[in-house]
Amino acid sequence: MLIKFLKPIGWTIFRVLFSVEYQGLENIPAGGPVIIAGNHPSYLDPVLVGLPVRRTFDLMAWDALFEFRCSAV
């Protein structure tokens, strides 16, 4: 439910701040298995790839994206 509210806001913000181009959206089936691959221009790929997709899907990502290292003082 929350994603339906946040997607239009995210879409607007990213379209204003970044130059994003999507190709092949018409080839994404409404159901069944699918692989959607971004070309990795940034660490924002999972968010940017998911914005125009109109179905639910799971993401696979490099585990190092979720490691937060803090140096102890």
pTM of the model: 0.55
SS3 percent helix, strand, coil of the chain, rounded to 5, is 40, 0, 60
- pLDDT exceeds cutoff 80 at 32: yes
pLDDT band at 22 (very low <50, low <70, confident <90, very high): confident
Is residue 28 scored above 80 in pLDDT?
Answer: yes
Is the pLDDT at 21 greater than 60? The verdict is yes
Q: Where are the alpha helices (DSSP H) in 1-73?
A: 2-17, 45-50
Distance CA 48, CA 68 (A): 21
Q: How far apart are CA 33 and CA 56, in angstroms?
A: 11
Distance of CA 52 to the CA centre of its chain: 8
* pLDDT value at residue 73: 55
